[in-house]
Structure 1
Amino acid sequence: MSPDRHSESVENYLKTIFLLAERWEGSVGVSALAERLGVSSPSASGMVRKLVEAGLVDHARYAGITLTPSGRESALAVVRRHRLIEMFLVTELDLAWDEVHEEAEALEHAVSDRLLDRIDDRLGHPRYDPHGDPIPGRDGRMPEVRARRLPELKFGEGGELVRVDDTDPEVLRYLDAHDVRLGDRVDLLTRKPFDGPFVVRLRRGDAADRTAADAEEEWGPSLARALWVGADEPA
């Protein structure tokens, strides 16, 4: 059974707290929450107090924000709607992967549970969205993603590109322009000095429409942090 729905503002806060905790594996600070939502810190603090009163989050003094069980359940429901909508827009309506995030942001609050279940059935119950993000199941269970951000790899490690941060469409457009796709093999070779770019070997898939199969690329820190690699073995 789906949890009770909240206002669009509350849903956005719960989802954002979940996503920040998912990305950084810990509690979430008010300043990070405010920055991600594009609001002032006082505004974010005020909403967090309301969420605490509603039993949706915990926030101890000088500590981060964490979702309560009911808050997590509600957040997962929003995340599920968002990621299924993104998958539908890409696979059924042929939108590009850099176009669907904003559309899903609006539609996730309007789609009914019945329609969402039909979308899920139509898509064959996908486990991951177009950016490699896991899609919570109807029971709230989250598929596992065994991956690390590219900068967390040691030199010589590599694996399949399994996930891309979708918050910056410029990153997605850059990857498209340079023919980098989920499923490609990425090996971290080295890093240029003075916090320079990461040097990687990119091994593209063998689809007929691909450019040169293997290439050495230099990716800046912000791009590298947006990429998750399923590390498996030294290159």
Structure 2
Amino acid sequence: MRIVVARCQVDYAGRLTAHLPLALRVIMVKSDGSVLVHADGGSYKPLNWMSPPCTLREGVAEDGVPEWTVTAKKTDDTLRIRLEEVIHDSEHELGVDPGLQKDGVEKHLQELLAEHTVALEEGMTLVRREYMTAIGPVDLLCRDAAGASVAVEIKRRGEIDGVEQLTRYLELMNRDPKLRPVRGIFAAQEIKPQARTLAKDRGIDCVVVDYDELRGLDDPSLRLF
């Protein structure tokens, strides 16, 4: 990521036109090619920006002032940034971001289901949390009422990637004579229709769990129906 603090003027032309008069601002150039112009206010939202795919060309205006021209590849939109005075210019390698984890809900959900395995299936008992395989840990290893092994993958939102992940775990676990046969349960607060279809095709059961009910916040005695 490149961060530039500069006294600049910004003009956007294309499907609409917009003008930012000369002022001190922060310009961010991200590795995906996006360019964002921020003020010291307005929370997270930039004053103006260009989303990728786009190209950034650094040049000099006729009067000798440095000027950036950011052009969208799919449209005629152009963002022109005139840098009257550059206060700071630096580049930083941020690496791959693991993504946002919202207040530990997924981890807490795993803890709650480990304590209340009957929410997954009647007669289910816990063998171990974070059962390690050669490609990573399965959230829960359980046994059903018949004593068969069950691998449980837990997500906040159940999508196709989660089903694929559980499929890989099951393939490895079913090679272990001490565990097999191992079936899978895909548990989440919400499961996308595509993920549910794929899970059914792979012989994986889907269980939608109520986080608040597991936390004890949803008291059935307070319900009217």
Same fold (TM over 0.5): no
Which is greater in Rg? 2
The structure with more helix, counted as a fraction of residues: 1
Larger relative contact order (C-alpha < 8 A, sep ≥ 6)?
1
Task: Please identify which structure carries the higher strand content.
Answer: 2
Bin of the TM-score, shorter chain as denominator length: under 0.3
The TM-score, its normalising length taken from structure 2, stands at 0.20
TM-score, length basis structure 1: 0.19
